[in-house]
Amino acid sequence: MSQPTPLARRLRTLWARAVRHQPVLSKAAVALVGLVFVWGVWLTYDILSGLPGRDDIRSLGNMAQATTLYDMSDRPVFTIFKEQRIEVPVARISPHLLRAIVSIEDRRFFAHNGVDSFRVVGAAWKNLLQFRAAQGGSTITQQLARQSFLTSDKTLRRKLKEAVLAARIEDQYSKHEILELYLNKVYFGEGLYGVEAASLGYFGKPASDLDVPEAALLAGLVKSPSSYAPTVNLERATARRNVVLQAMLDEDVIDRPTWEQATHTRVKLQPKAGEPEASGLHFKEQVRLKLVELFGGERVYEGGLRVYTTIDPAMQEAAETEIARSLKEIEARQAAGKKRSRPSGAAHDDLLQAALVAVDPKTGEVRAMVGGRDKKASGFNRATQAQRQPGSAFKPFVYATALEAGYSPASLVDRLDEPIMTLEGAWIPEDGHSEGTAMTVRTALRTSSNRAAARMIENVGIERTAEYAKRLGLGSVPQVPSLALGSGEVTLLSMTMAYATFADGGMLHTPILIRRVVDAQGVTLFETAPSAERAISETTAFLMSHMLADVVNAGTASKARSDGFTLPAAGKTGTTNDYMDAWFVGFTPKLVSGVWIGFDQPRTILRNGYAGDLAVPLWARFMKSATRNDKPSWFKPPSGIVSMDVCRMSGKLPAGGCDDVAITNNDGTTVNRSVIQTEYFVKGTEPTESCDLHPGHSFLQAIAGVFRGTQNVTPVTAEAAGLPAATARADTPSAEAPVTPAASELPQSQTDKKKRGFWGRIFKGKD
């Protein structure tokens, strides 16, 4: 008999020991099995605890939706979002995209019940070979579960939870419902969530219109949007698209000719999602602030609200275009004058700024709003937040107060050569338009006389003027004599709304940016009805509009006419001390707009930089564009308004010499002109006395006057006669220099009376 080998002897020894220790080993095995069981129970509990229940899974469709803002014609223009998403049903998603997604992400999607066993085994094998979690093997349903309820941690625990959730989702939703949820939730890069936003964002078309190569590109983004986005790396995006096309070919969802054509198609991006927001961002921000105030941030950013605003995109674009143009022109003048040039890389608060607001005077609806030259560089809205002195643009409110107190456009403002007594002593405002001792209210407003405005506020009362300013929406202004020259600080929006009061018969409107808000289910949550209250009488509003028309036609804003704006209009310029602010607020019966130009930290814009040269051209060009389809119209005299001829200089009934006065222009030339004009009055305020400046003459004096050519021994200046100057003259801020108008630019009721013939010059009869 052969002897056992050493190995056999060793095995027998081990077996004998095992038999002797069987009770101990049995206990260890039992303990191990117990530990595995406990661990399994704990793992099962850990996985199942905290998982969403049935109701949570049914709420998968409740995704964060962007709030959409619509323009005045109900066209979408802005979005406000936490996730930029537009939900669409699966029926409105291109079949090409459905096939592409399934081919590249989950080719057995329609065969499994949430977890693809073949894919799990394959992924596990590849991960084992590479000693890391290189491949996840998640189905579309699992991805939906992860995106909705889980983190992106690559752990076994998360994968098991994902599998359980996927099975529950498959139990409650059909395959097409799962595809719809997935394609509306998945991220496509560039802040775009869901296939509709992605399709609009990359190709400028709805998801229903995607062709094969476009669908393949979007499907390829899902794996890694930051890596494959065509806006980041077009070459990599194209390569990834072709991988998807190959998968579609392998799955027989496209044929080879289609594959060949699609792989050779160049990617053409035509983004649409961001384009509407290229302008109007200050308007959008004002709306957003109001929405958050009304509904809270969460509902605004995630609730899918539909907000119908008042913005006119064409006006908004024109406003931003003209502001950019005007700032460029002014900065060129700064550089040419060596006053200051814009330094390269200058801080934003060191740049010249401008703001514009346009409003429908009948409703208060804001059509355009620009709060600065660059919204992205500064969130400060200079149209609504900047408090600045308006300069002479405040003077209309002084004269509106006077009209309410019983003055008329023909009332004389006298004692212009006398100082005004203040708490600080005697004050005579600087003024280049007050050569005489008196002028009518109409002439004072047209020429922007500082002394006349200061005298008028003294006559009617500073406190009373401040009260009317408050009625007109300008808030509390300082009750000091310099208030007449615009020393109180106001916003551009409040000034524009105050001028809109003149254009709407004395009614002050609350500015409206939001017409209506509707929730995602179509329920109206908020609706704005035009709100107005009477601030001044209808007759005062008409008279102010009529006088302010002189400013545009023949006064400090007459550059609007030379710049090509021809519609009947009214308005007022404002230039502050040291030329630090340039204002103009003007209106037609259908639109009122205000502009402001200046620096955030006030300093001189340009030496002799009057508003008539800086703000008026901006306003005129904007209005020319904004009203290009409007027909000429003007305000009709309301009940209680009468008209009659008066002398421009005295404001009284014409006397014999009022139609033939020697007028000296600024260039030194002298002409004989009539100073008779048709004036409007509130009934009961008409003059009853005849002009004592140009009395009639005897028959022999009249005959002599025919041969002399004039009846005045001493000629008067055009401005003293209440007539437009023949040449422009510069003077102090708050009294802007007039620009020579054409005779045809004067309102018909303001043109000089027809020259009289031989017998008319003798008998001086009234027209």
For residue 118, what are the CA distances in angstroms to 99, 134, 316, 462? 20, 16, 58, 88
Residue 67's H or E segment, with its range, is strand 67-70
> What percent of the chain is helix, strand and coil (3-state, nearest 5)?
45, 15, 40
The DSSP symbol for 323 reads: H
Within 10 angstroms of residue 764's Cβ, the number of other Cβ atoms is 22
CA–CA gap between residue 463 and residue 470 (Å, rounded): 11
Catalytic residue among 392, 494, 558, 674: 392
Q: Where are the beta strands (DSSP E) in 519-580?
A: 524-527, 532-534, 570-575
Helix, strand or coil, per DSSP, at residue 69: strand
Give yes or no for a contact between 673 and 726, defined as CB atoms under 8 angstroms apart.
no
Q: How many Cβ atoms from other residues are within 10 Å of residue 346's Cβ?
A: 10
Whether residue 279 lies in the annotated active site: no
Q: Give catalytic status of residue 105 as yes or no.
A: yes
Cα–Cα distance, 510 to 100 (Å, whole number): 53
Q: What is the distance, to the nearest Å, from the Cα of residue 210 to the centroid of all Cα atoms in its chain?
A: 33
- Between CA 368 and CA 380, with CA 374 as vertex, the angle to 5 degrees is 80
Among positive and negative, which fits the CA dihedral 290, 296, 302, 304? negative
With tokens 């703001």, the residue in question is: 355
Contact (Cβ atoms closer than 8 angstroms) between residue 276 and residue 314: no
The answer to whether residues 679 and 442 touch, using CB atoms and an 8 Å cutoff, is yes
Cα angle for residues 722, 725, 729 (degrees, 5° grid): 120
Report the distance separating Cα 602 and Cα 578, nearest Å. 10
The set of residues, in sequence order, having a beta carbon less than 8 Å from that of 63 and lying 6+ positions away, is 83, 85, 87, 184, 185, 193, 194
Rg (alpha carbons) of the chain, rounded to whole number = 40
- Gap between the Cα atoms of 637 and 276, Å rounded: 42
Neighbour count for residue 36 (Cβ, 10 Å): 10
Comparing CA positions, the residue from 607, 630, 617, 632 lying closest to residue 584 is 617
- Spatial neighbors of 40 by CB under 8 A, at least 6 apart, are none
Residues 527, 537: contact at Cβ < 8 Å? no
- Sequence-distant (6+) residues with CB within 8 A of 327 are 352, 353, 354, 373, 597
DSSP strand pairing (661-664 vs 716-717)? parallel
Which of 450, 479, 457 minimizes the C-alpha distance to 466? 479
Q: Is the sign of the CA dihedral 120, 122, 126, 129 positive or negative? A: positive
Sign of the four-CA dihedral 287, 292, 295, 301:
positive
Question: Residue 626 to residues 500, 512, 563, 593: CA-CA distances in angstroms?
Answer: 16, 19, 15, 10
- Give the count of beta carbons closer than 10 Å to the beta carbon of residue 617: 22
Q: Which of 87, 105, 162, 679 is catalytic?
A: 105
- The CA dihedral of 100, 106, 108, 114, to the nearest 10 degrees, is -140
- Helices 611-626 + 313-336 axis angle, to 10: 150
Q: Using DSSP bridges, classify how beta strands 670-673 and 661-664 pair: parallel, antiparallel or unpaired.
A: antiparallel
Active site residues: 105, 392
